[in-house]
Homo-oligomer: A and B are copies of this chain.
Amino acid sequence: MNHNEVPIEQELAPLFDPKSVVVIGASNNWSKWGFSTFASVLNGFPGRVYAVNNSESEVLGYKTYQRVSDIPADEPVDLAIFVIPAPAVPGVMEDCVRKGVRAAVVISAGFAETGAEGKKLQDRVLAIARQGNIRFTGPNCMGFWSASSNLRGFMFPLPVQDGPLAFVSQGGNVGGAVVQMAFRRGMGLHRYVSCGCTADIQVEDYIEYFGRDPKVQVIMAYIEGLADGTRFIEKVRRVSAHKPVIALKPGRTQAGAKAIASHSGALAGSSDLYDSAFKKAGVIRVDTPQALLDVAMGFITQPLPKGNRVAIITPGGSYGVISADTCASLGLDVIDLPEETIREFDRVFPPRWSRGNPVDPAGDRNFIAYVLSPELLLKLPQVEAMIFMGFDSLGNFGSVYSDLNRKLAGVFNDFFKKIAALIPEDEAGGAELENQWIRSFVGEVVHAFFSLFGTSDPSDVDAFLEQITDFITGEKNRLVFSAKFRKVIQVYRDGNYENIGDLFAQLFNPLVEATVLNWIKTYGKPVISTTFMGSAPPVTELGYYAYPFAEQAILVLAKMLEYKNYLAREHQGS
């Protein structure tokens, strides 16, 4: 099964970067997968596309061919996607060999997953493909996505965009669910493969391939069963040495193992066996589709923690309680604060503050103290990560207090008039705002916010302001933030808002983002945010993401630490 003479990136190039694609079974009939698959390929792929169908002469405006080998000889076909009944696959695969096709995706089901007969059919397809030098995905899969070729080879519509993740899934539905979740969170995938029965290309081959792709930063896998555990460990540990690999592996229960057998035909194997294989391979195991994506996004948006000692800062005691419980149950140490730090907090918070970790100002209205104080924790060498809870309720101010909002509309309007005047209407002068404008703009917004939501010593506000404006006007960030501010102001100018109070609140989000990203940059420690409210805005361009629940954020931290510890052990061993 090893084709070791050819590097994997070359081996799989015709699959992920074909110049031309044929869909075998493409159809005009809405009620066939051949319709939605062909439509999916047409949706964006810039290369040549062919339709093979032996009963329709034209599909969605494309001339069809009876067989692959009927395509003109001077028009080579790199990739074939099969959406035809299983029994027809071997014959057509032979035809693909004749045509010189180099890779295939066999969506068709009815192979090893159905039992001994299906396995025989699958072995025939495999033998033909091997002989003809065709590497293939599947059978019994839902297709794949390759960002570098803008190629959606899906049997079913899936929204997806380019990004730093790659994902191989032995389950098309769980895979599709994670892909859709990622899309909704604004998170992109560079590659996604629903690999089905993995007759030819194995899970570890995809992982090896993703491992060598510099565009891929983190690898996700949904694994029901592996054909060759030793090969998996060997290949994957080479990847995990420099890139995190996270696996969702079900089958911890008998009912689950039985379901695996009837789904993919894989022997689920003992769950403990997989635990130990993953441990050797440096694979981080998770138990839910949500955790798979959560942890992957953690690796994208956060630095690795150095150790398990965490500080929690929360605007409310009960958030702190739940977070402390979750940390402790996942092996994270909610450290005792040094006396000196407690004294420092005593100076900024009212006497009723929690005087310990979790740090909770207990309803203090001095929000500027709240956003300045985390540095008292981050500067401590013994704080290796921080859980930070922001102000996600502020966004409700306008719409919830609708009566009040009408009364305040004048005040908000005056404020917007003032800050809108700071931004020139057209971008003719260059896409970049002058730093000076951003500084004045952010200054006005921060002062307005802290007069509305919290009081403080003006020198504290200025200290906060300096910090975030330096970050916001940084070379890489300036364009991003100026676009955010422009956008809100444009909505104001167009009058295209329902509630000016909510619009006002929208100005705050970039400031929270800048604050947290600045901490991460300055201290090189994870600062994981949570909204605690079951929903969260998409990840930002600069990589700020607040998890909907503390449980999720803290699991991410624990899993990142697991990877960090793996790397440390490996390093020690070598």
Interface of A with B (CB < 8 Å)?
30-33, 36, 39-40, 42-44, 60-61, 109-110, 113-114, 118, 140, 155-159, 169-177, 180-181, 184, 222, 224, 250-256, 258-260, 262-264, 288-290, 314-325, 327-329, 334, 350-352, 354-356, 358, 360, 362-363, 365, 393, 396-397, 399-404, 407, 450-455, 532-535, 549, 551
Contacts of A453 in B (CB 8 A): 30-31
Q: Using Cβ atoms and an 8 Å threshold, which residues of chain B touch A451?
A: 30-31
Q: Using Cβ atoms and an 8 Å threshold, which residues of chain B touch A403?
A: 39, 42-44
Query: What residues of B have a CB within 8 angstroms of the CB of A158 in the complex?
Result: 393, 396, 400
Q: Which residues of B contact A33 (CB under 8 A)?
A: 363, 365
What residue of chain B has the Cβ atom nearest to residue A394's Cβ? Answer: B157
- Residues of B within 8 Å of A174, CB to CB, are 316, 318-319, 321-322, 532
Given contacts A157-B397, A321-B256, contact A32 B365 (CB under 8 A): yes
Contacts of A532 in B (CB 8 A): 173-174, 177, 289
**Distance A424 CA – B281 CA, assembled complex (angstroms):** 65
Residue of B nearest to A42 (CB): B403
Query: In the complex, what distance in Å separates the CA atom of A454 from the CA atom of B30?
Result: 8
Please, how many angstroms separate the alpha-carbon atoms of A355 and B450 in the complex?
63
* A498 CA / B28 CA spacing, docked (Å): 24
Rounded to whole Å, the gap between the CB of A440 and the closest CB of chain B is 22
- Nearest-Cβ distance from residue A151 to partner chain B, whole angstroms: 14
Given contacts A318-B224, A404-B39, A454-B31, contact A288 B360 (CB under 8 A): no
Q: Is the CB of A549 within 8 A of B404?
A: no
Bound CA span A500–B452, Å: 44
Give me the 3 closest cross-chain CB pairs, A-B, nearest first: A171-B318, A173-B316, A263-B317
**Which of B109, B170, B255 contacts A318 (CB under 8 A)?**
B170
Inter-chain contacts of A317 with B (CB < 8 A) = 113, 171, 173, 259, 262-264
Q: Is the CB of B43 within 8 A of A402?
A: yes
On whether the beta carbons of A399 and B159 are closer than 8 Å, the reply is yes
Contact in complex: B173, A250 (CB < 8 Å) = no
CB of B40 within 8 A of CB of A322, answer no
Interchain CB contact under 8 A, B327 and A255: yes
Does the CB pair A113–B42 fall under 8 Å?
no
Inter-subunit contact A534/B318 (CB<8 Å): no
Residues of chain B within 8 A (CB-CB) of A113 are 317, 352, 362
Residue pair A42, B173 in contact (C-beta under 8 Å): no
Q: Given A40-B401, A404-B42, do A355 and B32 touch, yes or no (CB 8 Å)?
A: no
Contacts known (A321-B250, A322-B174, A363-B109); A118 close to B352, Cβ less than 8 A: yes
Question: Among the listed B140, B180, B253, which residue makes an inter-chain contact with A533, where contact means beta carbons less than 8 Å apart?
Answer: B180
Decide: B156 and A328 in contact? CB cutoff 8 A.
Answer: no
What residue of chain B has the Cβ atom nearest to residue A318's Cβ? B171
Residue of B40, B325, B393, B400 near A256 (CB, 8 A) is B325
How close is A143's CB to chain B, nearest CB, in angstroms? 12
A158 to B256, CA, bound (A): 41
Find the B residue at minimum CB distance from A364: B109
Asked if B31 contacts A260 (CB within 8 A), the reply is: no
The residue on B at minimum CB distance from A173 is B316
Complex Cα distance A328/B254, Å?
A: 8
A551 to B256, CA, bound (A): 13
| A404 with B60: CB separation less than 8 A | yes
The contact sample of 13 A-B pairs, CB cut-off 8 A, is A31-B450, A60-B407, A109-B352, A157-B401, A158-B396, A176-B316, A176-B393, A252-B325, A259-B325, A259-B354, A260-B321, A290-B534, A290-B551
